[in-house]
Chains A and B, each alone.
Chain A
Amino acid sequence: MTELVQPARRVIDMPFLRTLARDPMLLFSILFLVAAIVGMVFAEWLAPYDPLRTSLRFRARLPSAEFLLGTDEQGRDILSRILFGFRLTLLTSIAGLTIGVVTGSFIGLFAAYFRKIDMPLMRLIDIILSFPSILIGLGVASATGAGTLGIILALGISTIGPCARVARSAALGVVSMEYISGAKMVGLGDLQILARYVLPNCISSIIVYATLRFGQLVLLGASLSFLGLGVSPPTPELGVMVSQGRSVLFTAPHVAIIPSVAILLLVLSFNVIGDAVRDALDPRMKV
């Protein structure tokens, strides 16, 4: 099968390094994210202490040479807990994002390509969009009980709706192109056309959406765990750490504030990188 008309490829025209040099925020965000991922993957080797070992002697210490970020209300090393916490927070968000983006993109692409099911699918999306994500989180948690699975489902479901809209509007521009009717004429099947022509031409919009969404999911997941709807306390998770730190907020505020700042930096990095990815891949969306 020969390709009749080659769909246009977008090119990132600006050299990546020059962009970085001009934008210290972006550079910092990438460095922080790389550090967080390295810390998350190699937490066992990098963490200076056992994240679960409590110590009455070292309770709620301020940051020092011995404990770089201090210790929490039970004498556990906060830095070690944050490294392990990144793992749970990031994996939960990645799982939720994957579920939401894959399902949403499928719905969006199908709605744009098969015009007959466009209406019902999009009405379904309107219904999903009528549930704010916190409500999905509360509903799932009250149905399945507190736990990581509930949070992943909540993050995933809340991503389906907006992602389907993004994918659909990107695909609508593609399906009217000449190379699509060309592909139909040479006898390609619908699914083949979707996979080989429509998806590759929409993927940059979907990637832009996914990177921008990631920070929001980290925030939402952390809020749900903070509210006690995620993993139970001894497990190091950033939202849970903040929630636990509230018990000593008046005497040792750093126990709750330091993990919050870790979440802030994580989300900020994702937002800055998401903006940069959008500017690079999809200049039309620039606000």
Chain B
Amino acid sequence: MLIRQLGYRLLISIPVLLCVIALGFVLMMMIPSDPAAIIAGDHATPAALEEIRESLGLNKPMWVQFLLYIERLLQGDMGKSFLNSSDVFSELSRSMEPTAELVIVALLIAIPLGIGMGAAAAWSRGGFIDRLVMALAALGMSAPVFMTGLLLISVVGVHLGWLPVQGRGGPVYTWDGLSHIILPAITVSFIVIGPIARITRTSMLAIINEDFVRTARAKGIGERRVMIAHVLRNALIPTVNVIGLQAGYLLGGVVVTENIFAWPGIGRLAIISITTRDVPMAQGTILFLAISFVMLNIVVDLIGGYLDPRAQRL
């Protein structure tokens, strides 16, 4: 099943990526100006222009251009930015690391906190902690990302003056890097803590009534051990899936957060290039985000299958 599921995911990712590529191509075609003139600059001779058109295949039929476009993409050639004629591909690879770093640190905050909150809520079902956690989760799921970010900036960053609020510092293991990433990572983590806490609580409550839990209790295992080794461990499976399902929201939150904190990642690059009509860069970032999203889903499927052997056999 797992193999089939993976195969299916890979299979539908082909039309998905083709759609994104086609969209990028149409965008390129829709630009009223002549790409060759933009690349050549203001003082190009007609011969030089013709040469660039020839090299880009701009005088060939549309479908040949589309195939050429795909060929260039496969070679990692995504064109050059209209703004500063930097290479789109190398710009993207430069922005990839900060974004990955932000997501990983955010998940390192969100997963333990969310699971812990959900487990505590399930433990005190109906009690004060349960209601508090559920209320916080509802609040977190309704709060716009920019509100969390701006509140953190104005309270922790400006009012208390504890942490820097703009840009990225050095490597994350130095204080400079760590202090820069704390606020944006907390902002991103707020998006997924609520859903993780809710699903952990729900699945723990469902598992508490399973036969194997009763058996474990009957064997005389302590309550704490039953909860952690038997209930929580099995409750983690839906939690992993939920993180996968939330990946879309996570991505949206990352884009907003990067723009608030001037974090030099893909999300910031995407918004800058779209709002300045820098088409090659915009289509590059969108294609890149689509590919990462598809791959993320595949990884989540793999982890889910590893945690839950039933998913492989079915």
Contacts and interface: CB of A to CB of B under 8 A. Distances in A.
A239 B142 CA distance: 14
B143 A130 contact: no
Which of A135, A141, A228, A239 has its CB near the most chain B CB atoms (within 10 A)?
A135
A223 interface: yes
Contact of A256 (B30, B150, B270, B275): B150
Interface majority SS (helix, strand, loop, mixed), chain B: helix
Interface residues of B, number: 50
B286 A138 contact: yes
A69 interface: no
Interface of A, helix, strand, loop or mixed by DSSP? helix
A99 B146 CA distance: 27
Interface in B10-38: 12-13, 15-16, 19-20, 23, 26-27, 30
B247 interface: yes
Number of chain A interface residues as a range: 35 or more
A131 B27 contact: no
A263 B150 CA distance: 14
B154 A249 contact: yes
Given A142-B27, A142-B283, A268-B138, A127 B16 contact: yes
Given A131-B16, A222-B144, A242 B274 contact: no
Contacts of A263: 144, 147
A257 interface: yes
A130 B251 contact: no
A264 B247 CA distance: 21
B82 interface: no
A4 to B, nearest CB: 39
B289 interface: yes
B44 interface: no
B12 A268 contact: no
A126 B26 CA distance: 23
A229 B20 CA distance: 19
A287 B150 CA distance: 32
Interface stretch (B69-77, B107-115, B290-298): B290-298
Contacts of B256: 223, 226-227
Given A267-B142, A287-B198, A229 B274 contact: yes
Contacts of B19: 127
A59 to B, nearest CB: 18
Contacts of B23: 139, 143
A236 interface: no
